[in-house]
Structures are given as structure tokens and as C-alpha cells.
Amino acid sequence: MSKEIVEKINKLRKEKNAIILAHNYQVPEIQDVADFVGDSLGLSQKAAETEAEIILFCGVHFMAETAKILNPDKKVIVPDINAGCPMANMINVRQLKRLKEKHPDAIVVCYVNSTAEVKSMVDYCCTSANAPKIVNAIDPKKEIIFIPDKYLGNWVSKETGRELILWNGFCPTHRRILPENIIQRKKEHPNAIVIAHPECIPEVLEKADYIRSTSGMLKVVAELDAEEFIIATEIGMLHPLAKKHPDKKFYPASKIADCPNMKLNSLEKLLWALEDLKPEVIVPEDIREKALKSIERMINIS
């Protein structure tokens, strides 16, 4: 069945000149059929340079929106329009307006896990791969508001030595990973290296040997001689790691770190999206133009 679906997808993507982009957390079948698999930064860079007419984005809504902001003349479609990110919905335009009013001179840095509307009100966008670099590029005399992820923000503050005004947002999936999970996995695999995503809580990050974005994880594993790794992030990440490093062993810090939003997409829905060229992601032009500035500033710095 799945072979038939893949054949149909391959035929349609050629006919319709479509590129399939997939995040590292997508189910293995989607990652295996994608033209490019990556982290939020890599995917937005791919979206910025593609020649394809259609972008089929397999991830969550804010990622597809970012692709649309960078490609206004292309059609951006997704397998499931309901695949959103709860963290992105933890701050809205009104809340950000109020926060900015409290700190009128502050520069606003916004994690890419946010809505297009929120991005249209900020100075810089960032991803987990480049957040410290973006903050370091800002005039040290300036106050900085960092939204919406307080855990990422807390880590960035430690990395850069800059005080940040944080918002109370977080990723519910990464928050499921607990320090006791790391202690238990270390007991089971004492030689394993611990790699954690900066969306994890500080108590988990303290126990990590390396803190990396999802693609940063792939890079650091390639650089190390170690054979065993404990991975503290969404469990979809185990697939690209095992695929790239079949000789190494990867253990999830917690098997319940499974993002239900990322998993709303399936191979069947991907095929239907290609057949019907919908659901389509739309960003109103006035919002797109403003949001683009913060994304372009990020791409230029990184």
C-alpha cells in the first residue's frame, strides 16, 4: 500500500513541479519521501531558494507560513491544516503589544515557532540553531524581549550573558522530558552522550553534554567518536539520526516526547494534498511584508 502511495507521490511531484520539505520530527515514511529533511532554519533556507512552483510543507503551521512569507508567488500546501504548534499560540498580537508597551525601547527577538502576525511585530526572528548568534548581533546597550519560549530564552541568556525579558511560553512536548529520565537512561547506558534540544527544561539541559537544534544534533553525532547517544527531544528525531548513523545507537530520553501536532501528518494526507493542491497556507500581504523583514534579518545574520 505504502509503495503504491509513494509511486503516486513521485509521479505527481514531477507533474506539478512540487518540492516536499519535511521537518526532522515527521513520521519516517514522510521523511523518506521528502526532497529535503531538516530543522526550522534549514527548511526556511530551502524554501527561500527553491525553484519549484509548489511547496508541500510537512511540519507544523508556522513552518509552512514561514515558507509562504519567503515565497509569496508560490503555492504552499500542507498535509493537514490543523497541525499547529501550541507554543506558537502561547503569545498573540494583543499580548505582544502590551509587552512592547511596557518596554518601548526593547528590541524584540522572536522564535520561529510563532504566528506570522506575531512575526510581523518583531525585529528579529530566530531558530534554535541561531538564537545566541542573533542575540549577540544586537547592540549590547539595548534591552531585549525574547518570545515565546522561556526555556530557549533562558538558555540563550546563559549562552550570551545577556539579560532577556522572557515570555511564559514553552513546548508541551519537550516539557515532558524530565531530569529523572536522563538519570535512568544514563544508568542503562553509562557510556552514552546526552544531547538535548534547548526547548527542554533547564534541569534537563544541565544534565546534557551537548545542547543542539535538531540538525545540530546530526552534526555533533557525526563529529564524535562515541557510539551511544541519549536524545532529549521529540522522538521523531530518532529516525534521521539512525538513518545517517546506522553504526551508532540512539536512545530516546523519554518515549512520551511525541508531538501530536507533528504526527497529524501522514503519507496518505501528503498524497491527497498533492492531488488537490490543498489545504493551502495563506498569509495576508500586509502581514507577510512586515514578517519578512524579521526573517530576512535572521537569514542574513546566520
Cell numbers representing residue 2 in the block: 505504502
- 107, 54 contact by CB (below 8 A): no
Neighbour tally for 218: CB within 10 Å? 21
CB of 257 to ligand SF4, least distance (A): 8
Neighbour tally for 160: CB within 10 Å? 18
Query: How many helices (H) and strands (E) are present in the chain, helices listed first?
Result: 14, 12
Partner that binds at residue 39, options ligand 13P, ligand SF4, none, CB closer than 5 to 8 Å by kind: ligand 13P
Partner that binds at residue 40, options ligand SF4, ligand 13P, none, CB closer than 5 to 8 Å by kind: ligand 13P
The yes or no reply on residue 114 touching ligand 13P (CB under 6 A) is no
Neighbour tally for 13: CB within 10 Å? 19
Report how far residue 118's alpha carbon sits from residue 263's, in angstroms, rounded to the nearest whole number. 25
Report how far residue 208's alpha carbon sits from residue 238's, in angstroms, rounded to the nearest whole number. 17
Which segment (7-15, 35-43, 156-164, 265-273) binds ligand 13P by CB under 6 A?
Answer: 35-43
Q: Which is nearer to ligand 13P, 120 or 127 (CB)?
A: 127
Of 113, 120, 181, 254, the one binding ligand 13P (CB under 6 A) is 113
Partner that binds at residue 261, options ligand 13P, ligand SF4, none, CB closer than 5 to 8 Å by kind: ligand SF4
The yes or no reply on residue 259 touching ligand SF4 (CB under 6 A) is yes
Q: Per CB under 6 A, which of residues 173..192 are in contact with ligand SF4? A: 173-174
Sign of torsion over alpha carbons 8, 14, 16, 20:
positive
Cell numbers representing residue 163 in the block: 539579560
The yes or no reply on residue 128 touching ligand 13P (CB under 6 A) is yes
Which segment (79-87, 176-184, 202-210, 263-271) binds ligand SF4 by CB under 6 A?
Answer: 79-87
Which segment (10-18, 125-133, 160-168, 242-250) binds ligand 13P by CB under 6 A?
Answer: 125-133
